[in-house]
Amino acid sequence: MSRKLTLFVMLFLFAAGWAKAQNWGGGIDQERFNWGFSFQYISSELKLWKNKDWRAPYYDATLPGYATDQLASISSPPSVGFGIGFVVNSQLTSNLDARFTPTLVFNDRVIQYNYVQPAVYNVGTSMIEKKVQATVIDLPIGLKIKSDRLMNFRAYMIGGLKYSMDLASGKKSNDEAAAPIDKLIKNKKSFLSYEAGIGFDIYFEYFKMSPEFKLSYSFKDIMKHESNPFMDPIQKAKLRHFTFSLFFE
């Protein structure tokens, strides 16, 4: 009898603990709408398409003469940044949410131009690095497909579209009086991207934390094409983002 009573008590305590665990997260799974905030680590690069004569040195008619040597390569190494934002979540079904995650992103992009040796016109340097300044408001809308909750954990996939507005595209970019070798490269004011990722909901007693990994690609060219030594070799450039986010809801 004592063994049965002990077993009953243990089962009761286990069930009570399970029920309590299921309520962790502040009851967020019972809400139709909820909100939160996010912190993001971002790594971005530009996928470049080059013009047929991209290697040709740039001829400056105002000198007159060549402003650069012949190009050997053009590349866009990854550059890191960060973002802070909000999340508004609508639960459509027990396994499907709609999410809106506006974010302010600080992330410059870099393009490196490597020239043939020995340098003649490049003032003694064989590599010039140009930064594309970017302070962007991202407006992503996505669908979150969730697994069933297993105690205080669930996995999910997310996909959607993102509209981006570059706040820095029209600032500190007046280079009309600059020499060709000092010209800037510039972003378009706005562009659209598609994105997909995976994440995990981890439930704590009063909130939910969600680490998320996401990739995004712009649909079209995001660069302003002006005649200078740095934009003439490039036919188009699309933006690729890797984002690691921590959401707190």
With 60 as the cut, is the pLDDT of residue 15 above it? no
Strand partners for 187? 223
Once rounded to an integer, what is the mean pLDDT over residues 167-172? 66
CATH assignment, 2-248: 2.40.160.20
| Angle (nearest 5°) at CA 235 between 179 and 241 | 100
Question: Which residue in the block uniquely carries the two structure tokens 């290697």?
Answer: 55
pLDDT tens by residue, 45-88:
999 999 999 999 988 877 777 888 899 999 999 999 999 999 99
Sign, CA dihedral 117-122-123-125, equals negative
* Distance (Å, whole) CA 91 – CA 29: 8
pLDDT tens by residue, 236-248:
999 999 999 999 9
pLDDT tens by residue, 207-227:
999 999 999 999 999 998 888
Indicate the domain borders of the chain: 2-248
